[in-house]
C-alpha cells in the first residue's frame, strides 16, 4: 500500500493546504482509521476552521519598546499591594477598568480586545523582541520573518509603488524579512513631520535620466548570459533600480506626508513623533500598505516606573484612540488588524529604586479590527503577584497564529527555507475565543 501524501497547494487558505503537522494531529485524534478517511472529509474539517466573512488585509503594530507595565496600562489592580498607588478608571465596558491616564482609550475599549495573560519564555530584551515580532524563539540556525514580512509574503500586491512593509521610528531591532529575504525587511522612516529619506534625486531630472541611460549600457553588457531565469536584457540590479525610481515618482508618497491631514485630525493624535507615526500608519494603510509598525520607546522602567510609564501613557492614549476611531470612520477597521504591545511586562513588585523589572509571566496586549472580538477581555493575572501563571495563559506564537488566521493566512502553511527545511508560518494555535 502506497503512503498517503498531501501536497501543499499554492494558495494560503486553510482549506487548500495540509501540512504534515495537520495530518499527525488528525491521526493522533482519530487513530489508524484516519488513514482511510477520504481527503475530501479532511478538507471539510479544515474548512470549518477557516475565518468567517471577509478576512482583513493589513496590520498596524503599535510597538511599545522596552516592555510596558501591564499594571500601569491595560491590567491594573488598584488598591492591591502590587499596585503601589496606581489607580484605574472606568471604560466603555461594564466592570472593566484600565490604568489612569487612558481617558480616550477607555472611551473606545468596546472596539478592542484585551489579552491580559500573554506569557513568554524570554526575559532578555533582544531575545524577547525577536520572539514577539516573529512568533519564534531565537535559533542560531535560522532567522525567522517578522509579522509584517510574513504577511507581505503571503498577501501579494503588485499594484504598490511604495514599500508594503514599513517601520516608523524603528528601534534597535527593526522588523526583518528573515529567511524570506531582505526584500521583506521593513522600510524604515523616522518622524513623519519630516520628509521621507533618500527618495529625492540629488541632481536634476535631466541629469538623472542621462545617468540612467549611461548605466543601462553597462547593465545590458553585464547581463548577457548571467541571468538565465530573467529576461536576457534584465538583471536583478536593474529590477531594483526600476522599483526605486518608481517609488521616487509615485503619487502614493503623499501618504507619508501627515502635514496634508487636517489640523484637527493631527491634533487628535497628539503633537508627538509617535502620534504622527500613527496618523501616517492610517494614511499608508489607506493607500494599500500591508503592514506598518510604529514604535514608542521608553517603557524599560527599572527606575521611577510610575513616572516614566505615566509619561508614555500620555503619548499612547490619544494616538491609539484616534487611530481606532479613524479606521472606523474610513471603513478600514474591518480590513485592518491593530496590535499594541511590547516584548514583555513588568514585575508585580517595585525594586529599591522605584522600578519594575522584566516580567514575561503574564502581560497585556491589545488587539482590534478585522474579525477580532469587540469589547472582550481574555485572561487574568494574580492581583497578589504571587502566582506566575495567569488564568487562560496565551503563548506568543498563539497571537501570531491568530493574527494570520484573521488575515486569511493559514498559520500551518509550510515554507521551504534556503537550506531546504520546511517551516510553518507559525507553530501556535488559533485563539478561537478572540473571534466572535
358's enclosing H/E stretch is strand 358-359
Contact, 59 vs 28, CB < 8 A? no
Question: Torsion-angle region of residue 323: left (phi > 0), alpha (psi -120 to 50) or beta?
Answer: alpha
Chain Cα centroid distance, residue 133:
7
278: confidence class by pLDDT, cuts 50, 70, 90: very high
Q: What mean pLDDT do residues 33-45 have?
A: 47
The residue among 276 and 388 whose pLDDT is bigger is 276
The residue among 111 and 204 whose pLDDT is bigger is 111
Q: Where are the beta strands (DSSP E) in 65-216?
A: 88-90, 97-99, 112-119, 165-168, 187-189
Does 183 score more than 50 pLDDT? Answer: yes
Helices (H), ranges, 99-252:
103-107, 125-134, 147-154, 205-223, 236-248
Torsion of CA 294, 295, 296, 302, to 10 degrees: 150
Contact, 177 vs 184, CB < 8 A? yes
The three three-digit cell numbers of residue 374, written as one number: 469587540
436: confidence class by pLDDT, cuts 50, 70, 90: confident
Chain Cα centroid distance, residue 32:
39
Phi, psi angles (nearest 5°) of residue 129: -60, -45
The three three-digit cell numbers of residue 164, written as one number: 508594503
Residue 177 to residue 149: CA distance in whole angstroms: 5
Mean pLDDT of the chain: 86
Return the SS3 of 83: coil
317's enclosing H/E stretch is helix 305-329
Rg, C-alpha atoms of the chain: 23
- The dihedral built from the CA positions of residue 249, 251, 255 and 260, taken in this order, carries a sign that is positive
pLDDT digit string (tens) for 342-378? Answer: 999 999 999 999 999 999 999 999 999 999 999 999 9
Q: What mean pLDDT do residues 66-72 have?
A: 98
Does 104 score more than 50 pLDDT? Answer: yes
Task: Read off the pTM.
Answer: 0.85
Contacts of 360 (CB under 8 A, 6+ apart): 119, 120, 121, 122, 123, 128, 344, 345
In this prediction, residue 36 carries a pLDDT of 44
Phi, psi angles (nearest 5°) of residue 419: -95, 10
322's enclosing H/E stretch is helix 305-329
373 to each of 130, 321, 349, how far by Cα in Å? Answer: 27, 17, 32
Does 219 score more than 80 pLDDT? Answer: no
Longest dimension (CA), the chain: 75
Query: What is the DSSP code (8-state) at residue 135?
Result: S
Which region among 3-7, 183-187, 311-315 has the lowest average model confidence (pLDDT)?
3-7
Using DSSP bridges, classify how beta strands 336-341 and 165-168 pair: parallel, antiparallel or unpaired. Answer: unpaired
Beta-ladder partners of 58: 336
The three three-digit cell numbers of residue 297, written as one number: 520607546
Residue found by looking up cell 521621507 in the block:
196
Residue 51 to residue 342: CA distance in whole angstroms: 26
Torsion of CA 368, 284, 292, 14, to 10 degrees: 60
- The dihedral built from the CA positions of residue 324, 327, 330 and 335, taken in this order, carries a sign that is negative
Query: What is the DSSP code (8-state) at residue 146?
Result: P
- The dihedral built from the CA positions of residue 366, 369, 401 and 52, taken in this order, carries a sign that is positive
The residue among 158 and 411 whose pLDDT is bigger is 411
Using DSSP bridges, classify how beta strands 88-90 and 363-368 pair: parallel, antiparallel or unpaired. Answer: unpaired
In this prediction, residue 324 carries a pLDDT of 98
Q: What mean pLDDT do residues 302-326 have?
A: 98
In this prediction, residue 213 carries a pLDDT of 75
pLDDT digit string (tens) for 321-349? Answer: 999 999 999 999 999 999 999 999 999 99
Return the SS3 of 406: helix
Which region among 54-63, 100-109, 220-229, 379-388 has the lowest average model confidence (pLDDT)?
220-229
Beta-ladder partners of 168: 189, 294
In this prediction, residue 231 carries a pLDDT of 55
State which CATH number among 3.40.50.720, 3.40.720.10, 3.90.25.10, 3.40.50.880 fits the domain covering 58-192+257-434: 3.40.720.10
Let me know the angle formed at the C-alpha of 328 by 322 and 329, rounded to the nearest 5 degrees. Answer: 85
Q: What mean pLDDT do residues 17-28 have?
A: 51
The three three-digit cell numbers of residue 44, written as one number: 471539510
Helices (H), ranges, 31-79:
39-49
Residue 108 to residue 342: CA distance in whole angstroms: 21
Residue 185 to residue 245: CA distance in whole angstroms: 19
For the chain, which residues make up each domain, given as ranges? 14-49, 58-192+257-434, 205-243
Amino acid at each position: 500500500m502506497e503512503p498517503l501524501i498531501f501536497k501543499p497547494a499554492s494558495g494560503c487558505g486553510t482549506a487548500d493546504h495540509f501540512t504534515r503537522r495537520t495530518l499527525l494531529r488528525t491521526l493522533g485524534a482519530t487513530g489508524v482509521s484516519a488513514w482511510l478517511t477520504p481527503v475530501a472529509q479532511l478538507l471539510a474539517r479544515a474548512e470549518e476552521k477557516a475565518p468567517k466573512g471577509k478576512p482583513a488585509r493589513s496590520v498596524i503594530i503599535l510597538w511599545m519598546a522596552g516592555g510596558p507595565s501591564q499594571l500601569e496600562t491595560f491590567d491594573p489592580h488598584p488598591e492591591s499591594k502590587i499596585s503601589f498607588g496606581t489607580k484605574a478608571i472606568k471604560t466603555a465596558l461594564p466592570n472593566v477598568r484600565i490604568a489612569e491616564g487612558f481617558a480616550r482609550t477607555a472611551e473606545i475599549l468596546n472596539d478592542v480586545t484585551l489579552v491580559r495573560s500573554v506569557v513568554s519564555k524570554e526575559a532578555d530584551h533582544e531575545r524577547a523582541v525577536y520572539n514577539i515580532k516573529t512568533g519564534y524563539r531565537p535559533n542560531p540556525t535560522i532567522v525567522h520573518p517578522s509579522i509584517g514580512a510574513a504577511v507581505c509574503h503571503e498577501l501579494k500586491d503588485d499594484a504598490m509603488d511604495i514599500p508594503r512593509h514599513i517601520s516608523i521610528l524603528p528601534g534597535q531591532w527593526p522588523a526583518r524579512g528573515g529567511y524570506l529575504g531582505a526584500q521583506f525587511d521593513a522600510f524604515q522612516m523616522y518622524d513623519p513631520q519630516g520628509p521621507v529619506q533618500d527618495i529625492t534625486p540629488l541632481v536634476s531630472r535631466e541629469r538623472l535620466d542621462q545617468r540612467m541611460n549611461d548605466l543601462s549600457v553597462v547593465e545590458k553588457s553585464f547581463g548577457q548570459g548571467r541571468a538565465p531565469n530573467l529576461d536576457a536584457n534584465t538583471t536583478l540590479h536593474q529590477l531594483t533600480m526600476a522599483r526605486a525610481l518608481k517609488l521616487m515618482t509615485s503619487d502614493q508618497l503623499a501618504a507619508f506626508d501627515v502635514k496634508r491631514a487636517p489640523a484637527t485630525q493631527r491634533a487628535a493624535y497628539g503633537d508627538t513623533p509617535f502620534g504622527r507615526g500613527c496618523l501616517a500608519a492610517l494614511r499608508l494603510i489607506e493607500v494599500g500598505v500591508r503592514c506598518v509598525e510604529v514604535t514608542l520607546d521608553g517603557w524599560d522602567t527599572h527606575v521611577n516606573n510610575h513616572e516614566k510609564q505615566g509619561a508614555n501613557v500620555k503619548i499612547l492614549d490619544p494616538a491609539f484612540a484616534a487611530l481606532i476611531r479613524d479606521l472606523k470612520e474610513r471603513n478600514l477597521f474591518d480590513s485592518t488588524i491593530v496590535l499594541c504591545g511590547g516584548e514583555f511586562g513588568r514585575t508585580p513588585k517595585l525594586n529599591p529604586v522605584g522600578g519594575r523589572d522584566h516580567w514575561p509571566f503574564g502581560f497585556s496586549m491589545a488587539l482590534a479590527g478585522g474579525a477580532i472580538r469587540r469589547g472582550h477581555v481574555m485572561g487574568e493575572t494574580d492581583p497578589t503577584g504571587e502566582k506566575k501563571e495567569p488564568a487562560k495563559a496565551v503563548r506568543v506564537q498563539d497571537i501570531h497564529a491568530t493574527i494570520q488566521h484573521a488575515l486569511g493566512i493559514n498559520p500551518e502553511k509550510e515554507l521551504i527555507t534556503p537550506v531546504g527545511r520546511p517551516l510553518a508560518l507559525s507553530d501556535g494555535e488559533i485563539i478561537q475565543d478572540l473571534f466572535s
